[in-house]
Structure 1
Amino acid sequence: MSTRVVLPKWGMGIEEGTVTRWLKSVGEKVEKGEPLVEIETAKATQEVESPVSGILVELLLAEGETAAVNSEIAVID
């Protein structure tokens, strides 16, 4: 079963974030709670953690790309 990783909303006024660095690559095993990616917002750079354990099968944003809060950014099987 696939799980979509979404860009969380960390605070009021945060509407988008930019991928600064993926910490995992497609095909790698990830554990629930493990950092997947660094996201830069207008206020800070933060890590998005994996919501589940599994294999990272797809990155939906490249480094340097920006997405709206609650957008899907990766897929874990």
Structure 2
Amino acid sequence: MTTKVIFPKSGMGIDEGTVSRWLKTEGETVAQGEVLAEVETAKAMQEVEAPVSGRLAKVLVAAGQSVPVNAEIALIEECS
């Protein structure tokens, strides 16, 4: 099963942000709650955690790229 990693909403009036850097790379195993990336909005820097344990199957947004809030930024393939 594949789970989407979503760019978090950080506050009212924030419509987009930037993926500052990835702390994990495609193919790496991740644990639920582990920090995958750092993202920045106009108001704050945040960490994005893995919603599930598995393998970081695909990074959809490169570091430095801006995206709308709630956009898919990566996919995690859950391990059985």
What range is the shorter-chain TM-score in? Answer: over 0.9
Moved over 6 A (4+): none
Alpha-carbon shift at residue 17 of structure 1 (Å):
1.0
Structure 1: runs of 5 or more not aligned: none
The percent of aligned pairs where both chains have the same amino acid is 61
TM-score by length of 1: 0.97
What's the C-alpha RMSD, in Å, of the aligned pairs?
0.6
Query: What displacement does 1:8 show?
Result: 1.3
Q: Which runs of 5+ in 2 are unaligned?
A: none
Paired positions, count? 77
Question: How many Å apart are 1:53 and its aligned residue?
Answer: 0.3
Structure 1 CA distance for aligned equivalents of residues 41 and 56 of structure 2: 23
Calculate the TM-score normalised by the size of structure 2.
0.93
